[in-house]
Amino acid sequence: MPVVHKTGTVKSKQGSNTQSQKAPTAKTAKAASKKKDEEDGTEMGEGDEWMQGKTLIKPLDQLDLTEAELKEEFTRILTANNPHAPQNIVRYSFKERSYKPISSVDQLAVHFVLEGNLLHQDSDEARRQRAKQGLPEEKATVETAVAEKPETPAAGGEDAGDVEEGGGEERADSVESKAGKKEQKITNQFNFSERASQTLNNPLRERGCQTEPPPRANFSATANQWEIYDVYLEVLQKQEKNKEKAKAVPKKDDDKGKKKMMLVETQSDDITKVAKVAKIIERMVNQNTFDDIAQDFKYFEDASDEYREQEGTLLPLWKFQYDKAKRLSVTALCWNESYKDLFAVGLGSYDFTKQGRGMLVFYSLKNSTFPEYIYPTTSGILCLDIHKHLPYLVAVGFYDGCVAVYNLKEETLQPIYKSTAKSGKHTDPVWQVKWQKDDMDNNHNFFSVSSDGRVVSWTLVKNELVFTDIIKLSLAGAVSEGPEGVQLPIMACGTSFDFHKQIDYLFLVGTEEGKIHKCSKAYSSQFLETYNAHNMAVDAVKWNHFHTKVFISCSSDWTVKIWDHTIKTPMFTFDLNASVGDVAWSPYSSTVFAAVTTDGKVHTFDLSINKYEAICQQPVVAKKKTKLTHIEFNPVYPIIIVGDDRGYVTSLKLSPNLRKKPKEKKGQELPKGPEVEIAKMEKLLSLLREPENSNA
Amino acid sequence: MAEVEETLKRIQGQKGVQGIIIVNAEGIPIKTTLDNSSTVQYAGLIHQLVMKARTTVRDIDPQNDLTFLRVRSKKNEIMIAPDKDYFLIVIQNPSD
């Protein structure tokens, strides 16, 4: 509460000035002295009083006033005005839009403020607090209840009694608690202390765990038309496989075996998978290396043939050789009908003394450095033939008299069929084998001719080779004395044979004695005809591809003869100055044929151009000692392959002169087909026949 | 297995062949006769080329497939033969 200054006037006279001066001076001196020395304050103070009673001390900063001024009266008035309050507060009035002085200024001066926390006991706040505490109110109600007891005896008697009892009990308690509560209240209100306690906080520990992230792999793919196609194909294949499995009875063992196989295959990062691709690459590389040869093969046509009237040349192309076959001689050559660039080479030896192993080798024109297939054999091969319709079946005749059939599709190096002593193999070398048409039961069969004089037909029945003697070549008239007096016919040695192209049962057999027999499959003992062809063994006999009556034969007696099978004497005879190893008709012309001799030359004849001489005589091997053993025309391309006794096979391209087709008169179309060829041959023959007829 | 090795040897022995690389379907070379850096370079670049060529051929006709690819340059010729899982690269200088 502010202490208000009392108003009053205090008049002070001059007379009392000194006193008043004294008092203040004394006070001030006291104060000063007190300030200086508080310890000696009391003594000094007392001393000062004694001293000041006598003398007058002026403080240093006392105003010097004149007597008149000293005597001046000062009026002091106590007013209620606050000396510190401003007297001219101005406020802006929005109404009048100017600054206006306030009418009255607040003169209240606050000297002291103390916030208290006392409450009047009947105030609202006090009541609320009581309510919180509870007891004082009950006590009040108890008291009122007690007072009201006599007022409500009957109705609220029990209640009151209860209440009273409760109240009484409580009263007893409350008396104590009342005081205590009052005290508590007080303490709660004024002496509040907060006691907090904290439980022990468990130390926090962070525990994290991380699972292994799932393995991730990047996957990217494209969806193209061909990818979709591939997937469809796969699904189709799987379906087909499932169907097959459903049909066949599956064995558990087989399945397990298959599964194991599958596992093995997928585990190894195999280099064998590259096999097919490696082959392609090898061919490509070869094509590059032998690029010029390949170009020649395809496109080169000897332009100089125009200047050479009739003669032609043979352009050497690839040379095929195999390391392991170096010491063997080429004993058989055969082109594959279906794959025009594939040909088979049979290797062995013609030398009686040097008999050893042999080899069956397949080359492709696309790769001249290495064979496609290699089959080593125990005995030398003397002849071979590839089936016309099944290009994977190859029949082979051996020097030891066996015949065998190889299947190129098989992985093994062994033949699928082989004749043995039990199954009727020849007792002498097999000189020629030839496939025939499938017999009635659709079994494949082939014929073989051998020096033991037998022409045998072999049939492939399931797993066996069944033989049938077709004919036995016996020397006419010659009979030898066998043991026990039985007369055995001496067998002629067959060295070659050929089947007629059109007439199935007709075939020719050439023998070592130089005779050619015309036989039929139907007659097993008799020949249809015999020709005294040569003085030495007939090395080859071949029907003409076009003309049905004409065949050619060659022999070691240096001659090549052309026959009409109806006439016993040859139509043409050519002397080649050296033993003729092989002769072959060309597939494109009925009048062109080629022969190879042991002096390394290839003689090519075209009867329509020159009836007496070869239009091409060309040595094809480097060393003169090498003997050429076989020759074959390619059915499609204008090339020939020539085998020699050193194991080499040389391919040569026929120049245009050697491939001449008959010239036609202008305006007419070029006739095509075999009829032309036949006609051509016929013309030739007729020229020869007429004089003969006339002679005869 | 030996046959394939022999074939590869023969190819390597051919005139003018500078190197052979066999690359698997992911473009990682698994066998090579060249040095490492060249191999990696060839494999990476040619892999893309082969994929592109194959896609081209097959998009035109899904039943068709790429047999081989020849890239002839001034200095040499790169021959690539792709397979289902692998492809073979041969670098040859045919004029040598």
A619-664 confidence digits (pLDDT tens): 887 777 778 888 999 888 888 999 888 888 888 888 887 777 655 4
User: Which of A222, A232, A288, A411 to probe the B interface (max B CBs under 10 A)?
Assistant: A288
Partner-chain contact A272 B4, CB within 8 Å: yes
Q: Which phi and psi angles does A585 have, rounded to 5°?
A: -80, 150
Interface of A with B in 253-272 (CB under 8 A): 269-272
User: What pLDDT score was predicted for residue A36?
Assistant: 47
Spell out which residues of chain B touch residue A275, defining contact as CB-CB under 8 Å.
3-4, 7
Spell out which residues of chain B touch residue A369, defining contact as CB-CB under 8 Å.
10, 14
Helices and strands per DSSP (H, E), number in chain A: 11, 32
Contact A446, A434 (CB under 8 A): yes
Provide the β-strand partners of residue A650: A319, A642
Distance from CA of A667 to the nearest CA of B (A): 45
Does A232 contact B at CB distance below 8 Å?
Answer: no
Does A286 contact B at CB distance below 8 Å?
Answer: yes
Q: DSSP code of A695?
A: H
Name the token pair of A170: 């409580």
Q: List, for chain A, all residue ranges whose pLDDT scores fall below the cut of 70.
A: 1-55, 135-191, 249-271, 421, 474-490, 661-677, 688-696
Contact A507, A524 (CB under 8 A): no
User: What pLDDT score was predicted for residue B35?
Assistant: 92
Closest CB from A225, A273, A276 relative to B59: A225
Place of tokens 């006193």: A19
Contact A90, A101 (CB under 8 A): yes
For CA atoms A583, A584, A589, A590, give the dihedral sign: positive
Give the 3-state secondary structure of A285-333: HHHHHCHHHHHHHHHCCCHHHHCCCCCCCEEEEEEECCHHHCCCEEEEE
Partner-chain contact B15 A284, CB within 8 Å: no
Integer Cα distance of A343 and A652 in angstroms: 14
Q: Is pLDDT above 70 for B46?
A: yes
3-class state of residue A576 by DSSP: coil
User: What pLDDT score was predicted for residue A165?
Assistant: 47
Spell out which residues of chain A touch residue B11, defining contact as CB-CB under 8 Å.
278, 281-282, 285
Distance from CA of A593 to the nearest CA of B (A): 36
Partner-chain contact B4 A271, CB within 8 Å: yes
Quote the percentage of chain B above a pLDDT of 70.
Answer: 98
Does B9 contact A at CB distance below 8 Å?
Answer: no
Spell out which residues of chain A touch residue B77, defining contact as CB-CB under 8 Å.
288
Integer Cα distance of A215 and A503 in angstroms: 75
Integer Cα distance of A405 and A435 in angstroms: 11
Spell out which residues of chain B touch residue A285, defining contact as CB-CB under 8 Å.
11, 14, 17, 79, 90, 92
Nearest by Cα to A446 from A436, A456, A455, A438: A436
Integer Cα distance of A185 and A188 in angstroms: 5
For CA atoms A669, A670, A674, A675, give the dihedral sign: positive
Integer Cα distance of A512 and A503 in angstroms: 25
Interface of B with A in 15-34 (CB under 8 A): 15-17, 20, 22, 24, 30-31
pLDDT-based confidence at residue B94 (cuts at 50, 70, 90)? confident
Integer Cα distance of A545 and A589 in angstroms: 8
Interface of B with A in 37-56 (CB under 8 A): 55
Spell out which residues of chain A touch residue B5, defining contact as CB-CB under 8 Å.
271
User: What pLDDT score was predicted for residue A160?
Assistant: 45
User: How many beta-carbon pairs under 8 angstroms link A with B?
Assistant: 93
User: Which of A227, A276, A285 to probe the B interface (max B CBs under 10 A)?
Assistant: A285
Spell out which residues of chain A touch residue B87, defining contact as CB-CB under 8 Å.
277
Does B7 contact A at CB distance below 8 Å?
Answer: yes
Closest CB from A230, A278, A370 relative to B4: A278
Partner-chain contact B7 A275, CB within 8 Å: yes
Distance from CA of A254 to the nearest CA of B (A): 25
Integer Cα distance of A397 and A405 in angstroms: 9
**A234 burial via Cβ count (<10 Å: 0-12, 13-18, 19+):** exposed
Q: Report yes or no on whether pTM surpasses 0.90.
A: no
The structural domains of chain B, ordered by start, are 16-92 (3.30.450.30)
Q: What is the dihedral of CA A8, A13, A14, A20, to 10 degrees?
A: -50
